[in-house]
Amino acid sequence: MLSISLQRRGHEAYFFTMKQKTKTFTIYVFAIAIALASGCTSSELKLPSIISDGMVLQCNADVTIWGEAVSGTKIKVTTSWGVNQTAEARFNRTWDVKIPAGEAGGPYEITIDAGDTVCVIKDVYVGEVWMASGQSNMEMPVSGWLPNDTIYQSMQTIAQANLPLIRMYTVPKNICTEPADNAQARWKVCSPQTVSEFSATAFYFARKLNVELETPIGIIHSSWGGTNAESWISAQSLSRMEKFRTVIENISNAKAQSDIYNMWLQQFEAVDVAPVEGNLDPIIGIDIFDSLYSHPNFIVDNSIATITLPCAIETATGTFDGAVWYFKTVEIPSSWEDKELMLSLGAIDDRDVTWFDGKKIGATEENNKWNVNRLYTIPANDVHQGKSTIAVRVIDTQGGGGLLGNGELMKIYPAGNPNTAISLAGEWNYTIAAELIDNKFYKFNPAGNDFSFHPQKAMNLNANTPSALYNGMVSPVVKYTVKGVIWYQGEANVGRSHQYLELMRTLIADWRTRFNSELPFYFVQIAPYSYGNPDAEASAWIREAQRRTLEVENTGMAVTLDIGNVNNIHPANKKDVGERLAFWALANDYHKEVPFSGPIYNGKFEISENTITVEFTYADGLQISGSAPNQFEIAGTNGVYHPAAAMVDGNSVVLSSKLVPHPQNARYAFKNGSEASLFNAAGLPASTFTTEKELRD
């Protein structure tokens, strides 16, 4: 046996022991010698994106600073408020230190010194840090999703948002088969220029805390519209639920094929579209072989696949985000020549640029325009009799995508004369031009039709795959010290109330384990919405499951029965939602004397002859509003509910009905389209409730 020692500039010695005179040994030592001679013994210091300029650290806590470096590298962390800590990179290259953040204040600097590399993190504040997560009502930005989903007083809010002590870090959408350790994002300082893309609910929560506590506020925002609760829970915790055990096993088994797919992607040109200073939306203006695919001869010269529109591109590709080109040849009649035409494509998910005979005629490239119908004008001098080609480049950034709006809106016609329209619904040609993964577009060679040869995946992951969003959008930030969590989700689980209660309990316990803290967890009870039938009860049962989640210690619920919109699942009033969540935090975590909850049924009721009396907590000044329809119902032994007369008695409500001589159960606001009618003196609404013991789906 032979031992060899290689040293360089005081670095710790590395020893390699192998069989003498073997070819493997010779090549290995030669490679190491070359590496050392070329100076490749650098620390390779890396920090996660959340440890960066503009961040807010949790005050009065030992916060974690972490990263990667070559095994054995000594790391020194120094703060401008007087803390010095050291760490050593482990065998797996990871390192971390705990530093006391102290009282709120700033701005500070943190220096991370790995010897050959020094990182200085600037504009650091110490304050209160919260995690905000959920689905679309948490994701919905301060600017809204125009034209249908607006935020009340958004323009005024944006204009007045010069609040530099509020910082937001938005985790980009990401689906993973296993826990990720980093996210491509950055901290943003709240200003009129940045706030429009902040989560509205999280912003109003942060603004309220900032005003009341007079301290810096950091929000880690991680949400994805239309997603269910199970996608936000770790595989380890979900596997304890029998319903999800098999799919978690399948995801684990699919990892190898997922790795093969990702390796296949590496051969293609990658364009990074992560937001950067000075360009917060690099997707706008991106070139995905535009000159080639928009050329009117492309569809003539190439034999490519067909698809029947409108539909999601995923019907042809499986789970997919990226750039798709669609092509349609139309016969322009002689009567249309030299006339201005209107090209209507309906709604496109998410972004598009559109050409007519090789000339760009319109684009909707801004984010969050997926619900906007596209209507573009074709100038008269570009209209000629005969065959013409429409080319549409669609970029889908999440969920289903493509030309998937109303087929009746897909048409071309002379301006002012839609009655002579030619329908564009039906068969189109299409080609996949680039795939979007982790903020990078992998561009496929047009000459090779590369995407058609992609490796098969064992399963198609999507944003609702159990554990996929925990892996991609929670795991990267669980080391970051936070005060607590605000959560707005539940619409995607309507119809599964019994399971939802278990999921919520599992999610809360899971996150507390992952963040290594008994985090306060404050959530929003979903607002009334018709779900196709305002008199049905499915969403009321989810609201009831949310109410029962309050049985978990250190939780709170913001009720929205009075600020919903039965015709829009995205209510405009996010200010009251965010502030009601803040009331819970101010009262329970910061010991402020503020009203923080409306009346909550406390599980106690009493039956006396022909009445049933229901008791509430947070019921000071309990009152029934005369401006809303009666929301109380009672049922007898047959389980059929009838409207009930209601009378307030202290912190209780006494209910009766001539149709129910022997009441057994009571409920309140138990329809999809319910309205709030019960409030306390603070004007906060009561929660939906039922006295029934078992949840129903």
Instruction: Give the distance between the most distant pair of CA atoms in the chain.
Output: 99
For residue 139, the SS3 value is helix
- How many Cα neighbours within 13 Å face the side chain of 508? 23
Contact 145, 165 (CB under 8 A): no
Query: For residue 251, what pLDDT band results from cuts at 50, 70 and 90?
Result: confident
Strand order from edge to edge, sheet including 665-668:
641-643, 632-635, 665-668, 689-690
Write phi, then psi, for 507 (nearest 5 degrees).
Answer: -60, -45
DSSP secondary-structure letter at 556? E
Which range of residues forms the domain containing residue 22? 2-37
For residue 611, pLDDT beyond 90: yes
Which of 385, 419, 444 is the last residue before a domain boundary?
444
* Bridge partners of residue 324, in order along the sequence: 394, 432
For residue 26, pLDDT beyond 60: no
pLDDT above 90 coverage of the chain, percent: 80
Q: Closest Cα partner for 578 from 508, 522, 505?
A: 522
Looking up tokens 């070559």 gives 70
Q: How far apart are CA 229 and CA 500, in angstroms?
A: 8
Report the C-alpha dihedral over residues 315, 316, 317, 322, rounded to 10 degrees: -80
Which pLDDT tens digit goes with each residue over 272-281? 998 777 787 8
Q: Closest Cα partner for 603 from 616, 622, 620?
A: 616
pLDDT for residue 399: 78
Query: For residue 439, what pLDDT band results from cuts at 50, 70 and 90?
Result: confident
Helix (H) or strand (E) holding 254: helix 242-265
**Range in 119-123, 367-371, 488-492, 575-579 with the lowest mean pLDDT:** 367-371
CA 424, 427, 432, 438 torsion-angle sign:
positive
Buried b (16+ CB within 10 A) or exposed e, 145-177: beeebbbeebeebbeebebebbbbbbbbbbbbb
For residue 322, pLDDT beyond 80: yes
pLDDT for residue 300: 75
Domain count, the chain: 3
Mean pLDDT over 523-545 rounds to 97
Q: How many CB atoms lie within 10 A of CB 316?
A: 16
Q: Distances from the Cα of 585 to the Cαs of 60, 268, 307, 511, in angstroms?
A: 16, 48, 51, 18
CA R_g for the chain? 29
pLDDT for residue 30: 38
Query: For residue 22, what pLDDT band results from cuts at 50, 70 and 90?
Result: very low
pLDDT for residue 31: 36
**Range in 369-373, 518-522, 690-694 with the lowest mean pLDDT:** 369-373
- Where are the extended beta strands (E) located within 101-177? 105-113, 118-134, 163-170
Which residues, including other chains, have CB under 8 Å from residue 487's CB and lie 6 or more apart? 132, 133, 134, 138, 521, 522, 523, 524
pTM reported for the whole predicted model: 0.84
Q: Distances from the Cα of 475 to the Cαs of 226, 490, 576, 672, in angstroms?
A: 20, 21, 30, 34
Which of 419, 444, 469 is the last residue before a domain boundary?
444
For residue 5, pLDDT beyond 70: no
Query: For residue 154, what pLDDT band results from cuts at 50, 70 and 90?
Result: very high
* Bridge partners of residue 210, in order along the sequence: none
Q: Which two tokens stand for residue 411?
A: 């048409």
Which pLDDT tens digit goes with each residue over 165-205? 999 999 988 888 899 999 989 999 999 999 999 999 999 99
Domain-embedded: residue 632: yes
For residue 480, the SS3 value is coil
Report the C-alpha dihedral over residues 577, 582, 587, 588, rounded to 10 degrees: 100
Query: For residue 458, what pLDDT band results from cuts at 50, 70 and 90?
Result: low
pLDDT for residue 259: 83
**Range in 7-21, 531-545, 598-612 with the lowest mean pLDDT:** 7-21
For residue 41, pLDDT beyond 60: no
User: What amino acid occupies position 485?
Assistant: V
**Range in 22-36, 304-318, 547-561 with the lowest mean pLDDT:** 22-36
Which of 444, 471, 492 is the last residue before a domain boundary?
444
* Bridge partners of residue 95, in order along the sequence: 67
604: domain CATH number is: 2.60.40
Domain-embedded: residue 21: yes
pLDDT for residue 456: 77
**Range in 69-73, 80-84, 316-320, 454-458 with the lowest mean pLDDT:** 454-458
pLDDT for residue 27: 32
Q: Which two tokens stand for residue 150?
A: 């607006």
pLDDT for residue 21: 32
For residue 410, pLDDT beyond 70: yes
Q: How far apart are CA 451 and CA 437, in angstroms?
A: 14
Mean pLDDT over 632-645 rounds to 97
Which pLDDT tens digit goes with each residue over 253-276? 877 888 888 889 999 999 999 877
Q: Which two tokens stand for residue 562?
A: 């009075």
Domain-embedded: residue 168: no
DSSP 414-429: ETT-GGGPEE--EEEE
Q: How many CB atoms lie within 10 A of CB 576?
A: 17
Which residues, including other chains, have CB under 8 Å from residue 264's CB and lie 6 or more apart? 454, 455
381: domain CATH number is: 2.60.120.260
For residue 636, the SS3 value is coil
Mean pLDDT over 445-455 rounds to 80
Mean pLDDT over 521-535 rounds to 96
Domain-embedded: residue 542: no
Write phi, then psi, for 694 (nearest 5 degrees).
Answer: -100, 140
pLDDT for residue 628: 80
Helix (H) or strand (E) holding 413: strand 410-414
Q: How far apart are CA 470 and CA 137, in angstroms?
A: 18
**Range in 31-40, 335-344, 354-363 with the lowest mean pLDDT:** 31-40
Domain-embedded: residue 646: yes
**Range in 90-104, 369-383, 439-453, 664-678 with the lowest mean pLDDT:** 439-453
Mean pLDDT over 287-311 rounds to 90
343 compared with 319, residue with greater pLDDT: 343
Write phi, then psi, for 234 (nearest 5 degrees).
Answer: -65, 155
For residue 6, pLDDT beyond 80: no
Mean pLDDT over 112-124 rounds to 96
Domain-embedded: residue 593: no
Domain-embedded: residue 316: yes
Write phi, then psi, for 117 (nearest 5 degrees).
Answer: -135, 130
* Average pLDDT of the chain, as a whole number: 91
Which residues, including other chains, have CB under 8 Å from residue 444's CB and lie 6 or more apart? 268, 432, 433, 434, 435, 450, 451
Query: For residue 79, what pLDDT band results from cuts at 50, 70 and 90?
Result: very high
Domain-embedded: residue 293: yes
Mean pLDDT over 541-565 rounds to 98
DSSP secondary-structure letter at 260? H
